[in-house]
Structure 1
Amino acid sequence: MLNEGWDVLNLFDIVRLYETRDGKNGKPGKTTISEAQLIGRGARYCPFKIEDDQPRNKRKYDYDVTNENRILETLLYHSMQDSRYISELRYELKQTGLLADAPMEINYILKDEFKQSDFFREAYVFSNRKVEKSKKSVMGIDKKMRNGFYQYKVSSGSSFIYGLFDEEKINTNSFINTSRYKFKKIPLNITEAAMANFEILKFNTLKSYFPNLKSKREFLHSDNCLGNITLQIESPYEKLQAKGLYNGTMKILKEIASYIQKIETEYEGTKEFYAKRIHEVLKDKKTYIDNTHGDGVGVSQAMIVSEDSMDLAFEPWYVYNDNYGTGEEKAFVKYFKGIFKDLRSKYDEIYFVRNERIPALAIYEFDTGERFEPDFLLFLQKKGTDGYLQEQIYIEPKGSHLLGKDKWKENFLLKIEEQGIPTKTYVDDNKYRIIGLPFFNREYKMEEFDINLKFETGSEK
């Protein structure tokens, strides 16, 4: 099944029942390459989701090392203990990108001082949810489909006479009767009988796509659905037989069923942002990083050799023990250290969180439901007489080469303060603000970011 590319919904083991190998001079042979491709197909099959916002057919736990659900995506490949073969197979898996070349384990550890703080135990972090777009406004099928024109030719069973001395043939039955029908004029017993052949055209299923639909008859006869579709039948018979009408109806319904199957569920992000306790979201994390190089991903900020080097273990505002992010992310952390003193004069609590993806705090674009995991969260808290004001700011450093591609993320961030609504399940005396900032980018957007951050935090000098 794997060779044919079939979907294998529950695959956990592949067993190699032969010992031959065709590699030469340490290089994999055709068989080994084929087996590496087979493993790749098996490893990609993960047709499940545990959380509503997870993609169904995509690996989810490759970097979440401590998550018990990793077993659902673990594929075991069994073979004889042949060191040469295993070496060749590992080489080929690395070539295809399925096996990391030199994975390095990284631990993100929350500082003890932060875990012992009242903020960690009692404060909230906010995120919105991905939900299906309402279909209440959907009144029927697509306009192009509802005004469609279909042709069906009834098999004539004609015979031909061939001349003895030439190749010309003469059709002995050249009569053609052409009839046109609006779908709503086709007898209901014919259309309902044809409709019964398609699982997706059963009423309960149709209702999930078209919530305003009241009956099968409405689907077949309404101009918003199939009623206005035209069926043209060409027949050699003077009087059209019911079978021809039925077959023409089947041709239309086959197209309609295919169209409905391709309708994708549309999503949106809620404007409401829901609260969770900080200690329920922020935890110690472990992940694997491969191909570390230079000052980028996987390299400790304390170990890099550049102006952005700093030991975060001694910075009380940074909640984790270190930062292993991109060069742009490290530059932002260094920038933040420069403005910390000014923020400290205005806020009682300041905490800066690397939103590591294992698991990350995700937010969802309001119009499309597209998932987005901002790199950093900045928490600012100011105490008052009747509680406190907490500000949660999403921040995304972005390399220059990604500014255009990820522009939608920046547009979303800038809509959050105006449209996002922080909600809680019970009333308290505290006030909450949720804010998104423009991208942080040293090359093109430094001034814009600096002005926005200082404006939002009231830290203009």
Structure 2
Amino acid sequence: MVSLRYFDGLQVGSRIQVIETTHKFPLLSGYSQSSSVFDLEPNKQLKKTQKDYFIKSFGINVVKKALCQFPECQFSTLKALFPQLKSLSEFIQSDNYLGKIKVEVEGVEEAVNDLTQDNKLAIVIYLLNKLSSELQVENVEYKGTNEFKPYMVKDTFTDKTLNIVNDGNGDQEYGIPQSETTNQALNMDVSAEDWFVFNENYGTSEEKYLVKYIAKVAGQLKQKYSEVYLLRNERHFKLFNFDDGRVFEPDFVLFLVKDDKKHSLYYQVFIEPKGGHLIKHDEWKHNFLMHLKTEHKIEQLWKDRECIVWGMPFYNETETKPDFEKEFSALL
């Protein structure tokens, strides 16, 4: 059983602000080159270029297909957030919503100038993945509650297809399987670990460091708990900040079960690895995690089972690891 934050949504009347930032998308060319020791001249590099596109120019059907992959972008949800919205087509085309969002596509000139339908769909999904949280909370205020309600894990963590792109910017680890990374400090076959629920980890370097840390302490956890499971949250659930209802999707949740003859404890520990450049920017998330343990309320369904919600400090291998280890030691 997983207990997730719920809230009472209350819109106070506003519309989404135009997002005019130009996003970047690296187009996989599909081309390959080869050379021979007998070539008189080395192969020339394929000519690359950049071109801006408005996502609405990809066509309504393409954008609608991408929107279908995001529950928070379904029309009924959008209508609740934006009462003036008349149709999904308006949401796609109007400058009040997605109409002014641009993407800079970079790749081989021929491919960039003649995007396939699959290219267009992948680009829109990539952008919506970045923007969907903003679409939920931009200019919307929530009246929240600190109560947690129980949901079955099997109903919360469901099968889904992920579109993962290593865009060449920032953390180069994102999108690279942990079992295949060339960084030996991070390389690990997670499929061999019974405590890691998924068979691969495509996360950032900090997410991979976190998994390595759990691998190091897994033996100690198993000495104290009868069940130990680490799940990566691939948009399976959201939490809502106690103070202002801002949406938060912690990267991992650690499930721990401690049994005795008369009573069982079920721990749900929310963990957020964080790149150093984002620690200050996302300080509100850290504060929320630190208040979870003392401020949450939870519906206890069985007398002999108690559920405990816990949040950890941000995990960063070089900056916040000592604080994380200090708090984590309470679980050990």
What is the TM-score normalised by the length of structure 1?
Answer: 0.46
Letter aligned with residue 287 of structure 1: L
1:367 pairs with 2:243: yes
Work out which structure has the larger RCO, using CA pairs closer than 8 Å and 6 or more positions apart in sequence.
2
Unaligned 5+ segments in structure 1 are: 1-6, 8-25, 58-69, 76-83, 104-131, 133-263
Equivalent-residue separation in structure 2 for 1:431 and 1:362 (angstroms): 22
Change (3 A) 1:373 1:411: same
Q: 1:385 to 1:41 in 2, by over 3 A?
A: same
Change (3 A) 1:266 1:90: same
Q: Find the partner of 1:341 among 205, 208, 219.
A: 219
After superposing on structure 2, the runs of 4+ consecutive aligned residues of structure 1 that deviate more than 6 Å are 43-47, 70-75, 84-87
Match of 1:282 among 147, 157, 179: 157
Query: Structure 2: how far apart are the matches of 1:418 and 1:299?
Result: 37
- More displaced, 436-445 or 291-300? 291-300
User: 1:299 aligns to what?
Assistant: 176
Cα distance, 1:340 vs structure 2 = 0.8
The separation in 2 between residues aligned to 1:384 and 1:72, in whole angstroms, is 57
The whole-number CA distance in structure 2 between the counterparts of 1:310 and 1:332 is: 12
Equivalent in the alignment of 1:450: 325
Cα–Cα, structure 1 residues 53 and 352, in superposed 2: closer, same or farther, change >3 Å?
A: farther
Partner residue, 2:276: 400
Q: Following the alignment from structure 1 to structure 2, what is the Cα–Cα distance between the partners of residues 280 and 420?
A: 22
Residue 201 (structure 2) aligned to one of 323, 327, 339: 323
2:113 to 76, 80, 88: 88
Pick closer, same or farther for the CA change 1:54–1:98 going to 2, 3 Å: farther
Q: Of 286, 295, 302, which residue of structure 2 is paired with 1:419?
A: 295
Say if 2:210 is the partner of 1:332: yes
Q: Counterpart amino acid of 2:287?
A: N
SS, match of residue 288 in structure 1: coil
In 2, Cα distance between equivalents of 1:398 and 1:37? 30
Q: Report how many aligned residue pairs link the two structures.
A: 243
Amino acid at match of 2:246: E
Q: Evaluate the alpha carbon distance shift between residue 265 and residue 314 of structure 1 in structure 2; reply closer, same or farther with a 3 A threshold.
A: closer
For the Cα contact (< 8 Å) 2:56–2:92, is it kept in 1? no
Using the size of structure 2 for normalisation, the TM-score is 0.62
Which residue does 1:125 correspond to in 2?
A: none
Superposed, 1:69-88 pairs within 5 Å as 88=113
How far does residue 48 in structure 1 lie from its aligned partner after superposition? 4.8
Q: 1:331 to 1:37 in 2, by over 3 A?
A: closer
Query: What letter corresponds to residue 181 of structure 2 in structure 1?
Result: I
The SS at the match of 2:202 is coil
Cα distance per residue 1:227-266 (max 9 Å; x no partner): xxxxxxxxxxxxxxxxxxxxxxxxxxxxxxxxxxxxx653
Cα separation, 1, equivalents of 2:173 and 2:58:
28
Aligned letter for 1:354?
R
> Does the CA-based 8 Å contact 1:33-1:89 persist in structure 2?
no
Mapped to 2, the partners of 1:37 and 1:265 lie a distance apart of: 24
Question: Compared with structure 1, are the counterparts of its residues 56 and 362 closer, same or farther at alpha carbon in structure 2 (3 Å cutoff)?
Answer: farther
Question: 1:273/1:320 Cα in 2 relative to 1: closer, same or farther (>3 Å)?
Answer: same
Cα contact 1:268–1:370 (8 A) shared by 2: no
Residue 428 (structure 1) shift:
3.8
Would the alpha carbon gap of residues 441 and 53 (structure 1) be closer, same or farther in structure 2, given more than 3 Å must change?
farther
After superposition, the Cα gap between the structure-2 partners of 1:450 and 1:54, relative to the gap in structure 1 and judged at 3 Å, is farther
> Is the partner of 1:286 in helix, strand or coil?
coil
Q: Quick one: structure 1 residues 304 and 422, their matched pair in 2 at CA, closer, same or farther if it must change by over 3 Å?
A: same
Does the 8 Å contact 1:295/1:305 carry over to 2?
Answer: no
Counterpart in the other structure of 2:57: 39
- Identity over aligned residues, as a percent? 30
SS of 1:328's partner is helix
1:438 paired residue number: 313
User: What residue number does 1:271 align with?
Assistant: 146
Deviations 1:10-69 (A, max 9, x none): xxxxxxxxxxxxxxxx999xxx978x5651695778785445998659xxxxxxxxxxxx
Change (3 A) 1:295 1:316: farther
Name the residue aligned to 2:8. none
Secondary structure of 1:290 counterpart: coil
Q: Does the CA contact (< 8 Å) of 1:362 and 1:372 recur in 2?
A: yes
Per-residue deviation, residues 272-331 of structure 1 (Å, max 9, x unmatched): 001001111122321111235575111100000121110011100000011000011001
Q: Does 1:309 align with 2:187?
A: yes
Change (3 A) 1:51 1:436: farther
SS at match of 2:224: coil
Distance 1:450 1:284, change over 3 A: same
Tell me how far 1:72 sits from its aligned partner: 12
**Pairwise CA distance, 1:391:** 0.6
In structure 2, give the amino acid aligned to 1:291: N
1:42-441 aligned at under 5 Å gives the runs: 48-50=74-76, 88-90=113-115, 100=123, 266-291=141-166, 296-306=173-183, 307-357=185-235, 360-424=236-300, 426-441=301-316
